[in-house]
Amino acid sequence: MIQCKDCEYYQIEPDNRRTFRCDPFATIKEPECLAKWQLIRLDMLVASYQGMLQWYRRIAPLTDKMLKYMKREIEEMEEGDSWKFQDESDPEIEPFDNDPDQPPEP
């Protein structure tokens, strides 16, 4: 089995970063190369997911504040429109039974 350090598609950058220029569809030399390539990609996927989680943790307080503000605004709008949807059985409001064309009863 060929080692990655001996492969022509492997490079070490000046900052000691490893670069794999393998293409799993064209330049894979051995079956183990494909397994290593899959592990590298999986590691990259996990690293990007962890980065995304860090961003979510950083913006979580802001998100909470926004949701509280939106909830308060919605409640205020509903409270302002509550007069439109009051029940007829509400004891505070008396139904209007007087006909303006008829005189009031004594």
Domain ranges of the chain: 4-80
pLDDT in tens, 7-32: 888 888 999 888 888 888 888 888 88
pTM metric for this prediction: 0.53
What would the two tokens of residue 22 be?
């393998």
- Contacts of range 21-26, beta carbons closer than 8 Å, 24 or more positions apart: none
pLDDT, average across residues 54-79: 94
Write the pLDDT tens digit of every residue in 30-53.
888 888 888 989 999 999 999 999
Task: Count CA within 13 A, CB hemisphere, residue 79.
Answer: 6
How many angstroms separate the CA atoms of 65 and 70, rounded?
9
Nearest Cα neighbor of 9 from 20, 17, 1 is 20
Query: How is residue 104 written in tokens?
Result: 């009031």
The one-letter amino acid code at 77 reads M
